[in-house]
Chain A
Amino acid sequence: MGYHSWFTCGVFKTGKFLTNFGKNNLIHTHAQALIDRPLVNRLILGEEAFNSVGIQADILVPLPWYVNLSVAAVSARMAGLFSSAQDENLANVTHLENLWDLTDSTTLGLGVSYSFGENIQAKLSQFLGLDLSIKYLSPKGRGNFALIWTNEIISGLRSGLGTLSSDSWEHGWGVYSSLMARIHPVIWMGCRWDQVNLTAIGTTKEMSENFVIAYVPTEFSTVRFQSGLSQKPGVSGSRWQSLVQLNVTIGSHPAHAY
């Protein structure tokens, strides 16, 4: 949980928090569109998302549309991403987010993220992310039609982590596209297409397609069923996976970022 302090046009956050990298990484598990995170987030940023201890400054750039510049320095000693051996090693995370109201009910979002830091081999790891989203929410509000289309691509390069020699590198990139629609006041339906390519010795490719249906009777409870097919061409055959989740929120109105 981060602690906030305000200054004109900006806010500082300290503590342990989900870093502002891309679109999906910021969303808490219970607020995800599908039950699990996209493959690219899990395989490149980590199963537990890109979260760490550090400090972050967010600045609302004074332009006519919404432009948020976020710069963070966080501990690089988290598993997966950097796995730095030294406590004092820091990773930098920079994110620029633009949002435009196309109409009263439609918003276009475009974001760029970049992170770099020293990894376990004391060499550079760096990650680049691009995201594009379009959100339609009926201005009549609760229970009316809504459509959210989210696309994200993340690429990572870790020097010294290849298996051939200490000079080799590991490269990974992935992409997902998800579409969610509220088709009834209490029912959401959606799907997501994922693909990830990891390169160390040769290339490992993983793909998945998932479908989800969610029953949301109130703001405070959700029942979701997700089913999908995943495959690793040349490594293993296709695999079906189905998940069911009951989600109950306790407390005041849930308040999540747009």
Chain B
Amino acid sequence: MPIKLLILVCVLGGFITRSAVANLRVVTTTEDLASITKAIGGEFISVSSIAKGTQDPHYVEAKPSFLVLVSRADLVISIGLELESGWLPLLLRGARQPKLLPGEPGCLSVSEAIIPIEIRPQADRVDGDIHPLGNPHFMADPQRVILVAELISKRLSELDPTQAKNFKQNLEGFKLKLLNKIAAWKQKMAPFKGIKVIGYHMTFNYLFKFFDFDVVGFLEPKPGISPTAQHILKLIETAKIKNVKIIVIENFFDPKPGVTLVEKTKAKLVIIPAYVGGDDSSQNYFDWMDTVVNNLEINLR
């Protein structure tokens, strides 16, 4: 009798959890991707993100609750270029859903849509925690985000052809709004072309390139390695010689090394959310980019 009861609970549990959501269930690795996917899928899909915008997506814990979330998904969308390689394979493997394994329709890496910068075929661990296939932080480049949105729309349409027309319509609306925003952001940053900046990690390299900023160094001596006193001393000299205007730090990193640098130079410290959801004013992709651009502009004025 207890065994029958257990089986009944399992079956009912499965039924309840599967029937609660009728539309295409999408899980994204980051909130940036969730925001764009929501914009395209609209009311015809449900979207959940694994990493929060306040987290460094390199180092997310593969919590069992994420595994349960992934196991009930129809599509998992990731950034790729090994950004999530420390935790996503565990979730995909643990989800026990063959349709979500790499190469299957339920597994989409949006890096397929873009040509990345900083590809390092001769990568060596001595260079730090680098990404040999290219810099994975391309969501900070709105031009590349257009290509990402097109790829997501295409995959959603393949998985749910009945809503393909709606996905296409939403995509066009998203692209139009983004193109207008790109023009406005470019115009706002135009006076600051060529300014010298120092970053913390390589998170904003696409953004700096997009606005034609000149990156002269990083607080991390090597990607993934925390700042050291010796490296900060070198950066102080570099910042003075090259007349660095701003030190840009992602808001989940310790700002102390940046504060030290600012105290010894004329540069200003800019702490910004690195991803959508990184602060209260960055709840979707447009709001996040607005926050980033406004912060940069205020400190560069």
Show the binding face of A for B, using Cβ within 8 Å: 4, 6-11, 58-66, 68, 99, 101, 104, 107, 137, 139-143, 185-186, 217-220, 250, 252-258
Residues of A within 8 A of B125 (CB): 220, 250
How many angstroms from the CA of A258 to the CA of B61 in the assembled complex? 7
A143 touches B98 (CB 8 A): no
A61 touches B65 (CB 8 A): no
B86 touches A254 (CB 8 A): yes
B86 touches A255 (CB 8 A): yes
Whole-angstrom distance from the CB of B54 to the nearest CB of chain A? 6
Whole-angstrom distance from the CB of A101 to the nearest CB of chain B? 4
B114 is an interface residue with CB less than 8 A from chain A: no
Whole-angstrom distance from the CB of A187 to the nearest CB of chain B? 12
A139 touches B54 (CB 8 A): yes
Residues of A within 8 A of B60 (CB): 141
A4 touches B225 (CB 8 A): no
A7 touches B226 (CB 8 A): no
A64 touches B13 (CB 8 A): yes
B175 is an interface residue with CB less than 8 A from chain A: no
Decide yes or no: A140 and B96 within 8 Å by CB, A185-B226, A217-B225, A220-B125 being known contacts.
no
Residues of B within 8 A of A66 (CB): 64-65, 67-68
A60 touches B95 (CB 8 A): yes
Of the residues A11, A61, A186, contact of B93 by C-beta under 8 Å? A11
Decide yes or no: A107 and B225 within 8 Å by CB, A6-B96, A6-B98, A9-B96 being known contacts.
no
Whole-angstrom distance from the CB of B222 to the nearest CB of chain A? 9
Of the residues A8, A101, A137, A255, contact of B90 by C-beta under 8 Å? A255
Chain A, Cβ-Cβ closest to B100: A6
B87 is an interface residue with CB less than 8 A from chain A: yes
Of the residues B64, B67, B87, B254, contact of A255 by C-beta under 8 Å? B87
Q: What per-residue 1/0 map shows which CB atoms of B22-55 lie under 8 Å from chain A? A: 0000000000000000000000000000001011
Of the residues B16, B71, B87, B224, contact of A60 by C-beta under 8 Å? B71
Whole-angstrom distance from the CB of B272 to the nearest CB of chain A? 16
A10 touches B96 (CB 8 A): yes
Of the residues A8, A62, A254, contact of B17 by C-beta under 8 Å? A62
Decide yes or no: A107 and B64 within 8 Å by CB, A63-B10, A255-B89 being known contacts.
yes
B279 is an interface residue with CB less than 8 A from chain A: no
A62-B10, A64-B13, A139-B54 are known contacts; what are 8 more A-B pairs with Cβ within 8 Å? Answer: A10-B96, A59-B96, A139-B55, A140-B54, A140-B55, A141-B59, A252-B85, A255-B90
Q: B residues 49-92 with Cβ under 8 Å of A?
A: 52, 54-56, 58-65, 67-68, 71, 82, 85-87, 89-90
B161 is an interface residue with CB less than 8 A from chain A: no
Tell me if A's interface is mostly helix, strand, loop or mixed. loop
B55 touches A63 (CB 8 A): no
B85 touches A253 (CB 8 A): yes
B287 is an interface residue with CB less than 8 A from chain A: no
Residues of A within 8 A of B94 (CB): 60
A-B contact pairs, 24 of them (CB 8 A): A7-B96, A8-B97, A60-B95, A61-B10, A61-B13, A62-B17, A66-B65, A99-B64, A99-B65, A107-B64, A107-B65, A140-B54, A141-B60, A141-B61, A142-B58, A143-B254, A185-B226, A250-B125, A253-B85, A253-B86, A253-B129, A255-B62, A258-B61, A258-B90
Residues of A within 8 A of B55 (CB): 139-141
Of the residues A11, A63, A104, A185, contact of B96 by C-beta under 8 Å? A11
Chain B, Cβ-Cβ closest to A250: B125
Residues of A within 8 A of B89 (CB): 255
For B9, B54, B59, the residue with the greatest tally of chain A CB atoms inside 10 Å of its CB is B59
Residues of B within 8 A of A253 (CB): 58, 82, 85-86, 129
For A62, A66, A104, the residue with the greatest tally of chain B CB atoms inside 10 Å of its CB is A62
Whole-angstrom distance from the CB of B10 to the nearest CB of chain A? 6
Whole-angstrom distance from the CB of A172 to the nearest CB of chain B? 30
How many angstroms from the CA of A140 to the CA of B58 in the assembled complex? 11
Residues of A within 8 A of B13 (CB): 61-64
A9 touches B225 (CB 8 A): no
How many angstroms from the CA of A258 to the CA of B18 in the assembled complex? 25
Residues of B within 8 A of A217 (CB): 225-226
How many angstroms from the CA of A140 to the CA of B67 in the assembled complex? 19
B98 touches A258 (CB 8 A): no
A218 touches B225 (CB 8 A): yes
Decide yes or no: A219 and B129 within 8 Å by CB, A139-B55, A141-B56, A258-B63 being known contacts.
yes
Residues of A within 8 A of B58 (CB): 142, 253
Chain A, Cβ-Cβ closest to B64: A66
